[in-house]
Amino acid sequence: MTANYSEDTIRTLDWKEHIRKRPGMYIGKLGDGSSPDDGMYILLKEVLDNCIDEYMMGFGKIIEVNIDNHQVAIRDYGRGIPLGKVVDVASKMNTGAKYDSKVFKKSVGLNGVGIKAVNALSSSFTIQSIREGKEKSVDFSEGEIVKNHPQRNSTEKNGTLITFEPDHTMFGKFKFIDEYIETMLRNYTYLNTGLTISYNGQKFQSKNGLLDLLQENMSGEGLYPIIHLKNGDIEVAITHGNQYGEEYYSFVNGQHTTQGGTHQIAFKEALVKTVRDFFKKDFDSSDIRTSIIAAISIKVEEPVFESQTKTKLGSKDIGPKGPSVRNFIMNFLTTKMDDYLHKHSDTAHVILKKIQESEKERKAISGIKKLARERAKKSSLHNKKLRDCRVHYNGKDERKNESTLFITEGDSASGSITKSRSVNTQAVFSLRGKPLNSFGLTKKVVYENEEFNLLQAALNIEDGLDGLRYKNVVIATDADVDGMHIRLLLLTFFLQFFPNLVRNNHLYILQTPLFRVRNKKETIYCYSDEERHAAMERLGRNPEITRFKGLGEISPAEFKHFIGPDIRLEPVRLKKEDDIKEILGFYMGKNTPERQNFIIDRLRVEEDPVEVA
C-alpha cells in the first residue's frame, strides 16, 4: 500500500515547531552532556557568542555565567538589545543586527538563528535588556510567550541577561560538565585579551592570548619557547612537543573551529613552506609537522561555516574586498616566522633536530608500514574482526556524527553487540585476547602488531584524525579484572600513539549494567550498588537479582537497551595538568612499590562486597 501524497500531506511548520522537530539542523545533536559538542553546550555557546560579539565591538568587558543545576544565566554589559526589538530578537527567524555588517563586521553569529534555537529548545527562557535607564523582559516556554513584561525604569548597567533551562523532554536526563564549560570560557578569554568571564564566581581572563592557550593546554614543556606572532586580524602560537601526531587549536572570529577548515589547511601549508624555505631543504611535510602543537586565530568578514554549529570554516576570502584566506595566512607566516627564526637561531636549531629525528623514524618504519597496509587491506576483506556499519563519520555532515565503533574482546561479547547493534551507525571490532602493553614502545609496534595495525586501519587514523571513520570510539569490556586490564591496555595504546583521539573527545567507555532486578511486572537494570538497593526497595519483597559478570551473559535482546538511545558512555578525558608519559609510567610501567601501595590503599578504601539475594 502506498502512502497518499496530496495537499493534505504538505505542512508548513512555524519557526519553533521546526527547531523542535529538527534540532540537529540547529544545534548538531541533543546528547546528555557527556560530550562537549552535545546540544546543551551549543545552547550555552549561542548565547555567549552574542556577548562576545558585543565585546569585540568595544562594549562590555565582563560576562557573568551562572549555572545552578540545569538553569543557565548569562549576563553581559554591552549595549543591550533595542527595547522595542526584544521579542523579535528572541522569536522571529532571520531577525538580528548581524545582517548590518557595519554594526557587526566580524561577528560569530550571522543569521539570527542561534538565540531562537535556545528559546525553542528551553522549557523556560527569559530575555532581559537594560538600555539607557530602561528595562524590557519577556518570558517564554518552548518558544511561546508566557509573559511580556512592560518596560520599566532601571538603575542597572546596560546589557543583556538571558536565563534558560534546556527542555528535559528534548534532552532527557542531561548534565553540565564543568570541565567542558571551563574550556569553552577559557578559549573565549584567550581570543579576547582584556575580557573577564566569571563562571559561578570563578574568573577567567588572559593577558597573552594564544600563548596562554598553549601553555595551559600542553601536558609538558615544549621543545623550545613558544613562537607567538600576531598582527591585526591574525594570531598564531607554535611549538613542538614529544607526542605523536599533530595538535591544532583553530579559531575564527572567536569561534573554536574544532573541525578546522580553510584557515587551518592554509596554516599547515604555510608552516611547511616557511620551514622548507628557511632551511633550504625539501623536508617531507609530515616530518615538519610531527609533534607540532599550534594555535591560529583569524578574523573574517561575514564568515561562511559548513554548519550551523560553526565548527568548520568554509570561507575562501578574508572579506568581500580582501585577499584569500590562504594568501593572507601564507603571507603573514612566511614573513613573520621567517624573521623570528633568523633572530632566534637556538629555536631554529631545535626545530631542525626535531625534523631530522622524525625523518629518521619515518624512514625506519616505512617498509614495515607498506607491508602492514597490505596486510590490513587483505585482512579486512577476509577476516571477521571488523563488522562495519553503513554510515561513517564526516565532520561536514552532522547527521553522521553518531557513527560508533565498539572495541570488544571475545566471541560471546562481540556476538551480543553485533546482533543488537544498529547496522547503520554502529560497528564492532573484535579483539583476540589481551592486547600488547605498548607503553615505552616506538610506533613500529603499531604496524608490527596485527591487532594494533588492523585497529588503526579500521579507524583510519594513521595520518591523523582527518580521516577518522567513527565519531565515537567505545571500549566495551567486561566489568571484571580481565576486562579492566584490557581497557587499560587499549587506553595505553591510544594515549601513547593517538592522544588526539582522546583530546578531541572521541574515546569513551561503555557502561553496562552490573545487575538486573526484576519481578513479574517490572525489570530494572542497575549500574551500581546504589541503584541495585533502590531497585530492590522499589520492587518490594524478594525480587530476582542477576549479577552480570560479562558482556557475553547479556542477551542480544537486552543489549539493545544498553547501546540504543539510552546508552551510557563515560568519556575518557585529559585535563590540562595530565602528563601522559607520567600517567602511563605509573600505571603501565614496571611494577614499582609506589604502584603496589596505591593499589593496596585503594582496595582498603573501596572494598565493599556485593551481596546478591
DSSP-derived letter for residue 166 is E
Q: Which fold has domain 15-204?
A: Heat Shock Protein 90 (3.30.565)
Phi, psi of 370 (to 5 degrees): -65, -45
User: How much is the pLDDT for 119?
Assistant: 94
User: How much is the pLDDT for 44?
Assistant: 95
Q: 210-361: which CATH number, 3.30.230.10, 2.130.10.10, 3.20.20.80, 3.40.50.300?
A: 3.30.230.10
CA atoms within 13 A on the CB side of 94: 2
Confirm whether pTM is higher than 0.85: no
CA atoms within 13 A on the CB side of 113: 15
Nearest in space to 50 (alpha carbons), one of 63, 38, 37, 39 = 63
Asked whether the beta carbons of 498 and 461 are under 8 A apart, the reply is yes
Cell of 284: 617531507
- The domain ranges of the chain are 15-204, 210-361, 383-512+548-606
One-character DSSP codes across 201-213: TEEE--SSTHHHH
Helix (H) or strand (E) holding 379: helix 345-382
Residues of the chain with pLDDT under 50: 1, 10, 98-104, 110-111, 605-613
User: How much is the pLDDT for 367?
Assistant: 77
**Fold match flag (210-361 vs 383-512+548-606):** no
Alpha helices in 498-572 (DSSP H): 499-503, 529-539, 556-562
User: How much is the pLDDT for 578?
Assistant: 63
Asked whether the beta carbons of 196 and 281 are under 8 A apart, the reply is no
Q: Which fold has domain 383-512+548-606?
A: Rossmann fold (3.40.50)
* CA of residue 338 relative to chain centroid, distance: 33
Could you give the 3-state DSSP secondary structure of residue 427? strand
For 222-254, what is each residue's pLDDT tens digit?
A: 999 999 999 988 999 999 998 888 889 999 888
User: How much is the pLDDT for 165?
Assistant: 96
